[in-house]
């Protein structure tokens, strides 16, 4: 978090809100509350929005992207109101969102913005909430929101809000050693729709944690499955073409993220990844490449 104190009563707090991809996503069963139990590995990537908060007399929200709703439906605004309501204080802050991560993409951009807003306003309003309380508030904002409060790679269950850090074979926090290319086709997939298209499946599932932590791209390609892919690819064949294109570019593994529409390739050569990203950018796609933990390289 960056803190710019320009005078005693003017504090600006700024923090990146990184996106995620899913390495495998199993939709296990539909629940009585309408949600689905799933299991997935979430991995944070360096493609990020930036959230800035500052003191104000009322709640104000602005965004670099005029297409994004700036009313009470916006997840940053909802996060601010939820936090203020919990703390029993008026929601007074000005929030600015610099939007870089595409939405309707399965990259968790809005969820990450919401998580970041909670963390920044907890500091700005000097609430000092404990991590469990912030996690609970985050889960009320959306199933993916809690992930953005924790480690860079996590195994998610429940509706995605139950998280354990992903560890490697030596029991150290998992680090993805590959270069990732994310391509966003100009298609928006509604998450609730995508869940409706799926037939949940409980059995014959590989152990996602061991599979990811093994870092064997050949095995990832054979065994790592995102259940959303088939029903979404059926309706939006362009996404399958993008996945095949990334594999053709030399990705050892490629898949759709979450319920789409972003598709990512995982490369063991950063040079090939960069070449691939340049190609997709030249073809008119929104595209990002970089390592999982930051070190982003935006193709020209």
Residue 73's contacts (CB-CB under 8 Å, 6 or more residues apart) are none
Q: Is 83 in the site for ligand C5P (CB under 6 A)?
A: no
DSSP E strand stretches across 78-151: 93-98
Residue 294's contacts (CB-CB under 8 Å, 6 or more residues apart) are 18, 46
Q: Which residues pair with 43 in a beta bridge?
A: 21, 153
Closer residue to ligand C5P in complex, CB, 22/289: 22
Closest distance to ligand C5P from the beta carbon of 77 (Å): 15
Mask 23-42, x = binds ligand C5P (CB under 6 A)?
-----------xxx-x----
Q: Identify the residue among 143, 261, 276, 289 touching ligand C5P (CB under 6 A).
A: 143
- C-alpha dist (Å) from residue 106 to 31, 91, 159, 191, 215: 21, 29, 15, 8, 22
Q: Which residues pair with 41 in a beta bridge?
A: 23, 155
Among this protein's residues, is 136 annotated catalytic?
no
Closest distance to ligand C5P from the beta carbon of 296 (Å): 25
Closer residue to ligand C5P in complex, CB, 198/247: 198
Structural Rg of the chain based on CA atoms: 19
* Only segment of 4-12, 94-102, 137-145, 207-215 that touches ligand C5P (CB under 6 A): 137-145
Q: Is 109 in the site for ligand C5P (CB under 6 A)?
A: no
Q: Are 236 and 185 in contact (CB under 8 A)?
A: yes
Among this protein's residues, is 144 annotated catalytic?
yes
Q: Which of 144, 184, 227, 249 is catalytic?
A: 144
- C-alpha dist (Å) from residue 55 to 3, 11, 106, 142, 146: 13, 7, 32, 26, 25
Closer residue to ligand C5P in complex, CB, 160/245: 160
Q: Identify the residue among 170, 192, 199, 300 touching ligand C5P (CB under 6 A).
A: 192
Q: Where does this chain bind ligand C5P (CB under 6 A)? A: 34-36, 38, 142-144, 159-160, 191-192, 195
């Amino acid at each position: 978090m960056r803190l710019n104190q320009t005078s005693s009563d003017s504090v600006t707090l700024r923090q990146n809100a990184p996106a995620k991809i899913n390495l495998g996503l199993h939709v296990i069963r539909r629940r009585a509350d309408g949600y689905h139990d799933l299991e997935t590995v979430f991995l944070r990537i360096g493609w990020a929005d930036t959230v800035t908060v500052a003191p104000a007399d009322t709640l104000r929200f602005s965004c670099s992207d005029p297409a994004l709703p700036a009313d009470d439906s916006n997840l940053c605004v909802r996060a601010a109101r939820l936090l203020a309501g919990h703390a029993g204080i008026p929601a007074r802050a000005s929030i600015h969102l610099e939007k870089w991560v595409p939405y309707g993409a399965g990259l968790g951009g809005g969820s990450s913005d919401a998580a970041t807003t909670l963390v920044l306003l907890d500091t700005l309003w000097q609430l000092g909430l404990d991590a469990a309380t912030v996690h609970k508030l985050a889960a009320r904002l959306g199933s993916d929101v809690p992930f953005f409060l924790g480690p860079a790679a996590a195994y998610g269950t429940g509706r995605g809000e139950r998280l354990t850090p992903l560890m490697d074979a030596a029991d150290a926090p998992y680090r993805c050693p590959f270069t990732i290319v994310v391509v966003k086709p100009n298609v928006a997939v509604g998450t609730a729709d995508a869940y409706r298209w799926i037939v949940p499946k409980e059995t014959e599932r590989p152990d996602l944690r061991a599979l990811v932590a093994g870092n064997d791209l050949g095995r990832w390609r054979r065994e790592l499955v995102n259940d959303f892919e088939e029903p979404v690819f059926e309706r939006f064949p362009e996404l399958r073409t993008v996945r095949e294109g990334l594999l053709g570019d030399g990705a050892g593994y490629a898949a759709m993220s979450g319920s789409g529409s972003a598709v990512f390739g995982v490369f063991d050569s950063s040079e090939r990844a960069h070449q691939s990203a340049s190609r997709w950018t030249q073809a008119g796609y929104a595209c990002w490449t970089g390592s999982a933990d930051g070190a982003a390289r935006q193709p020209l």
